[in-house]
Structures are given as structure tokens and as C-alpha cells.
């Protein structure tokens, strides 16, 4: 055996083997099959030379324009394929920000595969924006990228919820980017992170590294005309729907209990709507509809108790109910209660310090109950006492009652049980009501990306590189026609300023990318509204099964219902 082999290949073999051992992988593990699965690029993103053409003008309010004078991006830009040269050797930084979403690693792969041939370099900042502020990064090359292709999670770089908000933070971030002479920074994040990206781009005054946003969030609430969906939503909803379908199968087999399932989505109910369309539960609450109807918690509980009674009159004691985690915050009496509590606890309220001196939660609750309106009191009194005590005793980081501590699915089951018992006391007729509860959150956000998300992310990665070359700073990478087959996708760049609007946050007006709620006048909600009456008393459960990565094309390649045209 030649020396060269001994010293080089053995070392490589050793490295490869020990990497496999570290990953705990063997040749037949799921991960190893996924790692080697090729990803195709849309035809429009093949090659290395591209032009841009204005596709649509966007209007920006005067206030936004005055905050972002340097981001004069009045057009959504189409990306057009041209000749076939190479990219210049690019140095690109990338950051994964906020909660994980399936496919993040494929964004990195898309960037790396685009720049590696021309001698580019990829800096992965560690732990979200904190990595930029502290100049903590990892150079990503073949070894790193090849170990994460088509896998879920953000574990290659980690993530974080640090923001780059203040002038001081922006200065430090810019210093890091300039120190490494980066040509561009790709910010993979949700509404907050992309708001940060817009401010960062503005502060660079259109010069220096190009700042690109990539739309990420399983919640599906980062959208615009050209961005039908953020990445991760497809996979997460498919994982949740798999589980909901299994639970529905259990419910229809045993027929003896109601299963309440809480889904993610504090502000918007996109996940619940998608999962409802995939699985056909008997009931699915949509926060936006409840807010639009000005429904109170008591209204909704009564309606749900009616629903249980109605099913029981048809001899049905079982059901599947989907509840978005944020639904309670959208009820008019809860909003009133929260507003009154916030007022009562505001530093300038005469009772505030007196109430806050009460160190026993029960004392504090009694005092609060005595000092709020009748409506608010009625609402607070609905909750089991320990939970009501928590609501008036603790504050979340934004100074609000800790609503995220409410396990919505359990609380609803409890409310309905209480309501049915109260009705039985009056009428003498008992309606049996047994229930189970499940919360689906962590199961979906770090799954292996679906065919759709794997390809979508890879394409967004390559697109980001093209946008760096074209110096489209302050733009978001986007593919408006994702409902078509991958090879026909047509990429565009969307000005971040076109997505900004003014919002009051912590007492100040701020330009932010607003979370997009479910459109109650859109075709998706219409599809749901048209079908749900049929699902209410008759069981039409669907069982979508686990995500398939091989096998029948429609199973593998079809995106979720929200994305289909």
C-alpha cells in the first residue's frame, strides 16, 4: 500500500468512520438515506448568471419611507436566468434565528453548493443573532454541509431569540460583518428576525454587505403577495396531521372520549386550519373567526357544550377537537380581562403597589376580583382557581398575564365538563363526557423536511446567493408559484420595506413585519367553512399517515393544502 494512501486515505476513512460513529449512523439508518437523496433546483435557478426585472411596484407609507430612506426598493424583482459564467468568489454569512423549522439546513446547502465552485466561503454564525454580536461562527464546508443535507433541526449552528434592535447592537453587528469582509448576510428567520434584517440593511445605507431575508416559521404567518408560505410549515403540518389522524383513528375505534388537541399558533391559526383540512376533525376553533365575531369565552364554551350534547343526542360520545394555542387571547371577554389586569398592575394605578404587596396568590386573586368589572370577573371566575391565581400573580416578559401558561386544550375540556355538569344539575339529564388532551408542538418543528420543504429551502439558499450578487440588499428571497412542480418555480426578490407596517410595541411606534392572520375571506377558510358542518355530527376523519420520502409521487411531492393552488 502506498504511503500516500496510508497517510491520507486512512485518515479520511478514519474521519468518515468516526463521524458516522459520532452521528450513531449506520448505512441503513434513515438519516444516511436522507443525506444522500439528491435535491433538484428549479430550472430558473440553474447556472450562474442572472438578471433582474421589476415585476410589481410596491407602495410604502411615508412613515416607513422616512425610517428606511436608503431602502428605495419600490419593486418586487423577478430573477431571470442569463448566460452561464461563474459567480465571483463570495464570502457569505448566514444566521438561523428563532424557533427551528424543518429545512433550515437545506438553506445552508443551497448557499454552499452555489458558492463553493468559485472559491467562496460560508460563515455560519452560531446561536442566532448572538453569534453576530459576539463574532462567534463556524466556517461551513463540504464536511459540515454534507452531514446535514435533508435533515431537520438547526443543530449545525444552533439558533436563538436574540434581537439586533438598538443602535449599539446594529453597530456591533455591522462591525462583525465588515471585519470578515462579507459580501452578504442571509438572515433565516420569522417576522421579528426579518424586521431586524430590514433595520440592519437600512443602517448600512445600501452599502457594504448585502442583507437578504429568508422566510422561516412553522406558524405560517410570514406571508405577502409573493410569499405564499414560509418554510417549515408544510412539514410541521404534515407531522401534526399524521398524529391527529392517528388519534382520530383511536377515537373512532374506541368511541368513548373526546380528544382535545392544541396546536401551535399564538397569533394566527394557520396550522389549525391546515390540519383541519387534512384531518377533518369534528370541531376546529379558528382564533381569527372568534375575534371577528367578538365571541366571549363563555359563548364558545356554551357552543362547545351544545356540540357535545348534540352529538350525544345521536348516541355519539366521542369527537376530535382542534384548538389553536392562542385562541383564548382572541376572545373579547379575555381581551377585556387582560386589559383590566394590565391597567390594575400599571405603576401609576392607585392600587398597584397595594396589590403587589400581597404575597399570597389567593389574597391577590381576591383583591383583583374585587377591583375589576363584572364581565372581567365572570371571565376570570371561569378558570380553575390555581390557574386564576397564576394569571393574576405572574407576568410574562412583555408585562402581560402569562397566557402561554394556559394549557388551552385542558382548560377547554375542564370548562365544558363544568358547563355540562351545571346543565345536568338544572335539567336532571346527564350527558356523559370523557376526554383526553394532547399538545402538538415540538414534534413537528424539528422533523426531517418534507420533499416540499427540502426543495423549497435549497432553492431559497441558491436564490439568496443570486440576490447577493445582484446586490438586492433589504430584500427577501421568495418563490410565488410554489404550488407548481419544483422545476417550474419562478423566483423573485421582495423588498422587506413592502412588508413593514407601524405597530405599537412597548409603548412606542415601531416599523415591524406584522404576522399575517388567517384570511377569513380567502379560499382556504371558505373551503373549511363549507365542509365543517358535515364533520360536526358525522365523522369524516382523514388519516394522512406519516410523511413519505419515497414511493407514490403524489404522496411524496404534493405540498400541503394551504400551498396547493
Name residue, grid cell 407609507.
Answer: 61
Name residue, grid cell 375571506.
Answer: 521
Over the Cα atoms of the chain, what is R_g? 26
Q: Tell me the CA distances in angstroms from 358 to 217, 225, 559, one per residue in order.
A: 41, 51, 54
333 binds a second copy (CB under 8 A): no
Instruction: Give the binding range for a second copy (CB under 8 A) out of 57-65, 247-255, 307-315, 455-463.
Output: 247-255
Show the binding pattern over residues 149-168: x = contacts a second copy (CB under 8 A), - = does not: --xxxxx--xx---------
113, 183, 192, 219: the active-site residue: 219
Nearer to a second copy, 203 or 390 (CB): 390
Say how far apart CA 294 and CA 292 lie, in whole Å: 5
31 binds a second copy (CB under 8 A): yes
Nearer to a second copy, 343 or 538 (CB): 538
217 binds a second copy (CB under 8 A): no
Name residue, grid cell 435533508.
Answer: 150
271 binds a second copy (CB under 8 A): no
Work out how close the CB of 97 gets to a second copy at its nearest, in angstroms, rounded to a whole number.
12
Residues 6 or more apart whose CB falls under 8 angstroms from that of 429 comprise 423
550 binds a second copy (CB under 8 A): yes
Task: Give the one residue of 10, 14, 255, 421 binding a second copy; rule: CB under 8 A.
Answer: 255
Task: Give the one residue of 73, 100, 269, 516 binding a second copy; rule: CB under 8 A.
Answer: 100
250 binds a second copy (CB under 8 A): yes
386 binds a second copy (CB under 8 A): yes
Instruction: Give the binding range for a second copy (CB under 8 A) out of 252-260, 268-276, 426-434, 500-508.
Output: 252-260
Task: Give the one residue of 2, 24, 207, 398 binding a second copy; rule: CB under 8 A.
Answer: 24
Nearer to a second copy, 84 or 554 (CB): 554
Nearer to a second copy, 120 or 265 (CB): 265
Nearest by Cα to 128 from 97, 151, 155, 101: 97
Instruction: Give the binding range for a second copy (CB under 8 A) out of 71-79, 147-155, 370-378, 516-524.
Output: 147-155
Dump the DSSP string for 182-219. Answer: -SEEEEEE-HHHHHHHHHHHHHTTT-SSEEEEEEB-TT
Name residue, grid cell 383583583.
Answer: 368
Dump the DSSP string for 513-552. Answer: EPPPPP-TTSHHHHHHHHHHHHHHHS-------SPPSSSS
Task: Give the one residue of 29, 313, 362, 430 binding a second copy; rule: CB under 8 A.
Answer: 29
Q: Tell me the CA distances in angstroms from 524 to 17, 270, 386, 521, one per residue in order.
A: 49, 10, 39, 8
The DSSP bridge pattern shows strands 184-189 and 91-96 to be parallel
183 binds a second copy (CB under 8 A): no
Work out how close the CB of 154 gets to a second copy at its nearest, in angstroms, rounded to a whole number.
4
Nearest by Cα to 176 from 95, 105, 102: 95
89 binds a second copy (CB under 8 A): no
Task: Give the one residue of 62, 350, 551, 565 binding a second copy; rule: CB under 8 A.
Answer: 551
Residue 125 contacts residue 131 (beta carbons within 8 Å): yes
Nearer to a second copy, 127 or 480 (CB): 127
How remote is the C-alpha of 69 from its chain's centroid?
Answer: 30
Q: Residue count at the site for a second copy (CB under 8 A)?
A: 56
Say how far apart CA 557 and CA 554 lie, in whole Å: 5
Nearest by Cα to 463 from 158, 299, 227, 160: 227
565 binds a second copy (CB under 8 A): no
C-alpha cell at 458: 435549497
Return the percent helix, strand and coil in the chain, to nearest 5. Answer: 45, 15, 40
User: Which 278-307 residues touch a second copy, going by CB under 8 A?
Assistant: 280
545 binds a second copy (CB under 8 A): yes
446 binds a second copy (CB under 8 A): yes
243 binds a second copy (CB under 8 A): yes
Nearer to a second copy, 202 or 539 (CB): 539
Residue 44 contacts residue 491 (beta carbons within 8 Å): yes
Q: Is 191 a catalytic residue?
A: no
Residue 131 contacts residue 162 (beta carbons within 8 Å): no
Q: Which residues are marked as active site?
A: 219
Where along the sequence are the contacts to a second copy (CB under 8 A)?
A: 22, 24, 28-31, 33-34, 100, 151-155, 158-159, 239, 242-243, 246-247, 249-250, 252-255, 259, 280, 386, 436, 438-439, 442-448, 540-552, 554-555, 558
Amino acid at each position: 500500500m502506498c504511503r500516500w494512501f496510508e497517510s491520507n486515505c486512512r485518515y479520511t476513512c478514519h474521519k468518515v468512520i468516526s463521524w458516522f460513529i459520532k452521528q450513531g449512523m449506520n448505512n441503513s439508518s434513515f438519516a444516511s438515506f436522507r443525506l444522500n437523496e439528491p435535491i433538484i433546483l428549479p430550472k430558473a435557478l440553474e447556472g450562474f448568471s442572472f438578471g433582474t426585472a421589476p415585476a410589481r411596484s410596491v407602495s410604502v407609507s411615508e412613515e416607513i419611507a422616512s425610517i428606511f430612506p436608503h431602502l428605495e426598493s419600490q419593486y418586487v424583482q423577478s430573477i431571470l436566468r442569463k448566460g452561464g459564467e461563474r459567480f465571483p468568489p463570495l464570502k457569505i454569512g448566514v444566521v438561523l434565528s428563532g424557533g427551528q423549522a424543518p429545512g433550515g439546513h437545506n438553506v445552508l446547502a443551497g448557499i454552499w453548493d452555489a458558492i463553493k465552485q468559485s472559491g467562496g466561503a460560508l460563515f455560519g454564525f452560531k446561536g442566532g443573532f448572538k453569534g453576530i454580536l459576539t463574532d462567534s461562527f463556524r466556517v461551513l464546508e463540504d464536511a459540515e454541509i454534507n452531514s446535514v443535507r435533508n435533515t431537520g433541526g438547526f443543530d449545525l449552528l444552533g439558533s436563538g431569540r436574540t434581537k439586533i434592535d438598538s443602535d449599539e447592537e446594529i453597530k456591533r453587528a455591522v462591525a462583525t460583518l465588515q471585519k470578515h469582509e462579507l459580501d452578504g448576510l442571509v438572515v433565516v428567520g420569522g417576522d421579528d428576525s426579518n424586521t431586524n434584517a430590514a433595520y440592519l440593511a437600512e443602517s448600512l445605507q445600501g452599502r457594504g454587505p448585502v442583507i437578504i431575508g429568508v422566510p422561516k416559521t412553522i406558524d405560517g404567518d410570514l406571508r405577502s403577495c409573493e410569499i405564499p408560505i414560509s418554510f417549515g410549515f408544510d412539514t410541521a403540518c404534515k407531522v401534526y396531521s399524521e398524529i391527529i389522524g392517528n388519534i382520530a383513528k383511536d377515537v373512532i375505534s374506541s368511541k368513548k372520549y373526546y380528544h382535545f388537541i392544541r396546536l401551535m399558533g399564538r397569533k394566527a391559526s394557520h396550522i389549525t386550519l391546515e390540519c383541519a383540512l387534512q384531518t377533518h376533525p369534528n370541531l376546529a376553533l379558528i382564533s381569527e373567526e372568534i375575534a371577528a365575531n367578538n365571541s366571549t369565552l363563555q359563548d364558545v364554551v356554551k357552543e362547545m357544550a351544545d356540540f357535545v350534547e348534540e352529538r350525544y343526542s345521536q348516541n355519539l360520545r366521542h369527537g376530535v377537537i382542534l384548538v389553536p394555542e392562542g385562541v383564548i387571547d382572541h376572545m373579547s371577554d379575555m381581551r377585556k380581562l387582560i386589559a383590566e389586569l394590565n391597567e390594575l398592575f400599571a405603576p401609576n394605578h392607585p392600587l398597584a403597589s397595594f396589590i403587589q404587596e400581597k404575597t399570597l396568590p389567593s389574597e391577590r386573586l381576591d383583591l383583583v376580583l374585587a377591583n375589576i368589572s363584572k364581565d372581567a370577573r365572570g371571565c376570570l371566575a371561569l378558570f380553575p382557581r390555581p390557574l386564576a391565581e397564576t394569571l393574576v400573580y405572574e407576568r410574562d416578559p412583555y408585562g402581560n398575564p402569562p397566557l402561554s401558561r394556559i394549557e388551552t386544550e385542558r382548560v377547554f375540556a375542564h370548562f365544558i365538563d363544568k358547563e355540562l355538569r351545571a346543565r345536568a344539575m338544572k335539567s336532571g339529564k346527564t350527558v356523559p363526557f370523557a376526554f383526553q388532551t394532547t399538545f402538538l408542538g415540538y414534534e413537528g418543528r424539528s422533523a426531517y423536511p418534507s420533499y416540499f420543504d427540502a426543495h423549497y429551502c435549497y432553492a431559497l439558499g441558491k436564490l439568496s446567493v443570486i440576490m447577493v450578487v445582484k446586490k438586492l440588499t433589504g430584500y427577501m428571497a421568495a418563490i410565488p408559484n410554489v404550488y407548481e412542480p419544483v422545476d417550474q418555480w419562478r423566483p423573485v426578490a421582495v423588498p422587506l420595506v413592502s412588508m413593514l407596517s407601524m405597530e405599537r410595541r412597548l409603548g412606542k411606534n415601531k416599523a415591524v413585519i406584522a404576522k399575517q392572520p388567517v384570511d377569513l375571506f380567502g379560499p382556504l377558510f371558505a373551503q373549511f367553512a363549507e365542509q365543517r358542518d358535515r364533520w360536526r355530527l358525522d365523522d369524516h376523519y382523514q388519516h394522512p399517515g406519516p410523511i413519505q420520502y419515497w414511493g407514490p409521487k403524489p404522496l411524496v411531492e404534493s405540498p400541503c393544502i394551504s400551498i396547493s393552488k
